[in-house]
Amino acid sequence: MGVYMRFLRPGKIAEVSLIGFVLMMMAIVYGGDISVHPHWGPFFTLQGTTLTWALVIYGFIASVLPVWLLRALRDYLFTFLKIGVIVGLAVGIVFATPELKMPSVTRFIDGSGPVFSGSLFPFLFITIACGAISGFHALVSSGTTPKLIEHESHIRMIGYGAMQMESFVAIMALICASVIDPGFYFAMNSPSALIGITVEQASQVINGWGFMITPEALSEIAKDVGEASILSRARGTPTFSVGMAHIITEMFNSRAMMAFWYHFAILFEALFILTAVDAGTRACRFMEQDLVGLAVPGMGKSHSWLGNMAGTTVAVAGWGFFVYQGVIDPLGGINTLWLLFDIGNQMLASMALILGTVVLFKMKKQRYAWVTILPTIWLFITSMTAGWQKIFHEKASIGFLAQAKRFSQGIEQGTLIAPAKTIKGMETIVFSNQINAALCGFFMLVAVTMLISAFFVIRRALASETPTAKEVAVILREETTHR
């Protein structure tokens, strides 16, 4: 699409949009045929570690390539799909009026849940994550969005509108998770270490929790959505997809297309993942280049290929390591990394708000500072409490160090602890939890350091009679044309 717009048919947005939409729909419609093909099906069925490497390679390429070649046009097309799906889903909810089957409170309110362990405070408030407030979005809006907009006046609509839509997505996701039977929900989201790997085992465990589900029902729902199994799927994506497919099939009163809508929703969720990967990698690369550029000015220039390649390599190595560890972790790394991501995201949001508070004081507009200070206080308390509990909590199901200690003792005694099947697997669990604890502690240290630094900067700003904020001079871009 980027080559088409830049060289073949410059300015023909409608044409490239139509081509991209048709190709995307063809991928969904004929993707099912490829999945059952005797040759291509196995060819595209990859192991978790292989998918990790593919994601790392994609993130590297997407970060290094010019924005016009991939991100700008792809994100433009995906935006229509995202907004269209969410609006369509909202309309479907209004017309189908599905019943919310998940009870408002379950027996797991005590913090012993199979999906997440921990008390309502603080973990409820950090798992909301970017549906309410997002530090990741703050990074992207300051790192890549300014390079894509045409006029500065567009910033408010894009920034505020994007977060409004993100909150709307979160509401739709909550509804999708609540309209499916609780037995299906726990079957999809509970780790295999708890519910087993067969529908018979899962049914027996989940029935013991008070949510009645039969092995036949678990097999039937998997068949309806075109999957071999729905047990222990990775967090929210399959749950959202099953819920969305359920709502749409209820609206049309037909289950014939349930598999199509399920995989359409999977694609919809994949768009969020891919855009998060390349946007996050690019933003990380920008910050690394800025930091290194203080010592080596040439590396800090955006057009430096050496700086781009080096910064991107460090970025993808960082997040790629944790994805890989999550794949090989017998506990299922997503079960520990997800909360760590939420904590980091909320800490990052609090730091963005701290920065906004400092800017207001430096501009002598401290009368508006309460707008940023109030959410900062709440975010800081919840994220710091969650971080402390994830590191030092005595329960192995909550604390990283407690989990590492439990499996370390098993290794010393030569006793295998499920779900690990080997001593090496237990060593992987110990290592992953120790790394997670160190990383969580680092997040907390950075956040506290920024808070203390902000306090001294605000004191200096208040002591000055004139604004101390200084804006960099505007640099206008050169107008370019393509013929």
pTM of structure? 0.84
**Claim to verify: residue 385 and residue 274 sit in the same structural domain:** no
Mean local confidence (pLDDT), 216-227: 90
Give the mean pLDDT of 198-221: 93
In a domain, 119, yes or no: no
Checking if the pLDDT of 482 tops 60, the result is no
Q: Is residue 338 part of a domain?
A: yes
Q: Percent of the chain having pLDDT more than 90? A: 30
Q: Are 152 and 223 found together in one domain?
A: yes
pLDDT number for residue 235: 64
pLDDT at 275: 81
Mean pLDDT of 19-28: 80
Residue that is last in its domain, among 314, 346, 365? 314
Domain membership of residue 111 (yes or no) is no
- Region 399-409: mean pLDDT is 94
pLDDT of residue 483: 44
Is 308 contained in some domain? yes
Are residues 94 and 4 located together in one domain of the fold?
Answer: no
State the average pLDDT over residues 132-138. 82
Residues 148/158, Cβ–Cβ less than 8 Å = no
Average of pLDDT values for 318-334?
Answer: 79
Of the listed ranges 224-228, 236-240, 399-403, 472-476, the least confidently predicted one is 472-476
- How many independent structural domains does the chain possess? 3
* pLDDT reported for residue 234: 63
Residue type, 282: R
Question: Mind listing the pLDDT tens digit for each residue in 248-276?
Answer: 888 887 777 888 888 888 887 777 778 88
Residues 253 and 354 placed together within one structural domain of the fold: no
pLDDT tops 90 at residue 459: yes
Looking at 314, 339, 364, the residue that finishes a domain is: 314
Q: Are residues 41 and 155 in the same domain?
A: no
pLDDT at 334 over 70: no
The mean pLDDT of the chain is: 85
Higher pLDDT, 30 or 478: 30
Pair 16, 75 in one domain? no
pLDDT at 480: 53
Assess whether 7 and 60 both reside in one domain.
Answer: no
pLDDT 10s digits, 98-108: 899 999 888 88
Tell me what pLDDT residue 458 has: 96
**What integer pLDDT is reported at residue 333 of this predicted model?**
60
Same domain, 474 and 412: yes
Are residues 341 and 225 part of one domain?
no
- pLDDT tens-digit map of 433-458: 898 899 999 999 999 999 999 999 99
Inside any domain, residue 7: yes
- What is the model's pLDDT at position 374? 95
Domain boundary pick from 259, 283, 314 = 314
302 and 388 in a common domain:
no
Full 3-state SS string of the chain:
CHHHHHHHCCCCHHHHHHHHHHHHHHHHHHHHHHHCCCCHHHHHCCCHHHHHHHHHHHHHHHHHCCCCCCHHHHHHHHHHHHHHHHHHHHHHHHHHCCCCCCCCCCHHHHCCCCCCCCCHHHHHHHHCHHHCCCHHHHHHHHHCHHHCCCCHHHHHHHHHHHHHHHHHHHHHHHHHHHHCCHHHHHHHHCCHHHHCCCHHHHHHHHHHCCCCCCHHHHHHHHHHCCCCCCCCCCCHHHHHHHHHHHHHHHHHCCCCCHHHHHHHHHHHHHHHHHHHHHHHHHHHHHHHHHHHHCCCHHHHCCCCHHHHHHHHHHHHHHHHHHHHHHHHCCCCCHHHHHHHHHHHHHHHHHHHHHHHHHHHHHCCCHHHCHHHHHHHHHHHHHHHHHHHHHHHCCCCCCCHHHHHHHHHHHHHHCCCCCCCCCHHHHHHHHHHHHHHHHHHHHHHHHHHHHHHHHHHHHHHHHHCCCCCCCCCCCCCCCCCCCC
Q: Are residues 71 and 151 in the same domain?
A: yes
pLDDT at 112 over 70: yes
Residue 93 reports pLDDT greater than 50? yes
Task: Give residues with Cβ within 8 angstroms of 428, minimum separation 6.
Answer: 325, 328, 329, 330, 420
Containing structural domain, residue 2: 1-45
Q: How confident is the model at residue 215 (pLDDT cuts 50, 70, 90)?
A: very high
